[in-house]
Amino acid sequence: MEKKRLFFGVGTALVTPFCEDGIDFDTLGRLLDLQAAAGVGGVVVAGTTGEAPVLSDRERDALLSFTLDRVGDKLTVIMGTGCADTRRTLALSRRAAALGAHGLLVVTPYYNRGTREGVRTHFLSVAEAVSAPVLAYNVPSRTGCDLSLADYGVILSHENVVGIKEAKEDAQHFFALCTAFGENKRIYTGSDAFLLPSLAMGGDGVISVVSAIAPRTVQAITALFAEHPAKARALFAQIAPLVGLLFKETSPSPVKEALRQMGFGDGACRLPLSAPTAGLCEELRAEISRLTRFKIS
């Protein structure tokens, strides 16, 4: 069976820029144009990096519609629709599919600590309810829920679950996923720091935070890796310090601050997130300056 193609390479996890009136669509448009010009495979809106839990339903609709209108003919547009409540996840998923999302990113239910069978049924219910392809998203450091290889075997048995975003940096686990499911399903890492190992083990790419800042470079790394791994490693070495800084404090505050320094919005997050510490802001400023000098974009 041929893989259902969402994208290969880079899907950028977009921030949601805010202003006093809600979403700063001027900044969002410029961020989307940057991604389209860089030739990444897709963008994810209303994911973890997009501060999904603090978006109203009206903002979610506007965010997705604006993104589709701006770049929907150039990039795969994936909407985060997962939450702690299966009924609400189903409602959000149906709404995003109706508005035209090219794919849905569904995170494991958080806080509720669902049973093994309940979590599996959560994903299968979404896959059965919508026609838009579904990516299962595993990020146990945030959710307290971790998908095992057996869980994935059940969840990925549904033809409409076309792949996964695995944010756990566990080489043995990731290799097992690629070996068991990589022939028919898309296997993306959700960790920028794990990009090179994931490609070496057969992954299809990354849903990336650092590509919000350096999309051309991250796209080039994934494109080069198969035939020119040394060049890919050299490119990754250029952005590795930035990757560390972007996760030194709770994401997406650092990436929003970095984008602010580059002229994209005011960097504001919604509570309970807050601005990075002054020390991290200075580190980001120095690193953005270095990357600019070396023409990393």
d(CA 79, CA 93): 8
- Find the catalytic residue in 3, 74, 110, 137: 137
| Annotation marks residue 137 as catalytic | yes
Amino acid making up residue 195? L
H, E, C per residue of the chain: CCCCCCCCEEEEECCCCEECCEECHHHHHHHHHHHHHHCCCEEEECCCCCCHHHCCHHHHHHHHHHHHHHHCCCCEEEEECCCCCHHHHHHHHHHHHHHCCCEEEEECCCCCCCCHHHHHHHHHHHHHHCCCCEEEEECHHHHCCCCCHHHHHHHCCCCCEEEEEECCCCHHHHHHHHHHHCCCCEEEECCHHHHHHHHHCCCCEEEECHHHCCHHHHHHHHHHCCCCHHHHHHHHHHHHHHHHHHCCCCCCHHHHHHHHHCCCCCCCCCCCCCCCCHHHHHHHHHHHHHHHHCCCC
Cα→Cα distances 6→51, 102, 147, Å: 23, 8, 22
Q: Is the Cα dihedral 289, 290, 291, 293 positive or negative?
A: positive
- Find the catalytic residue in 165, 185, 188, 256: 165
| Positions marked catalytic | 137, 165
